[in-house]
Structure 1
Amino acid sequence: MTRTPPEPMLAAPVSDPALLPGWAGEPKWDGFRAALSVDGGQVALRSRHGTARHGTRMAPAFPEVVAGAAQLPGTTALDGVM
Structure 2
Amino acid sequence: MTWTLPEPMLAAPVPDPDLPPGWAAEPKWDGWRALLSWDAHRLILRSRRGTDLEPSFPELRSGAAQLPDATALDGELAGRARPSR
TM (normalized to structure 1)?
0.85
Alpha-carbon shift at residue 66 of structure 1 (Å): 2.0
Q: Give 4+ residue runs of structure 1 displaced > 6 Å after superposition.
A: none
Match of 1:67 in 2: 62
Counterparts in 2 of 1:8-27, with a 5 A limit? 8-27=8-27
What stretches of structure 2 of length at least 5 have no aligned partner? 78-85
Within 2, Cα distance between the matches of 1:18 and 1:59?
36
Alpha-carbon shift at residue 18 of structure 1 (Å): 1.4
Within 2, Cα distance between the matches of 1:9 and 1:80?
8
Match of 1:47 in 2: 47
**Stretch of structure 1 that moved more, 71-80 or 26-35:** 26-35
Match of 1:31 in 2: 31
**Matched AA of 1:34:** A
Contact 2:5–2:72 (CA<8 Å) still a contact in 1?
yes
Within 2, Cα distance between the matches of 1:6 and 1:81?
15
TM (normalized to structure 2)?
0.82
What stretches of structure 1 of length at least 5 have no aligned partner? 50-54
Quote the RMSD (CA, aligned, Å).
1.2
Q: How many aligned positions are there?
A: 77
| % identity of equivalent residues | 66
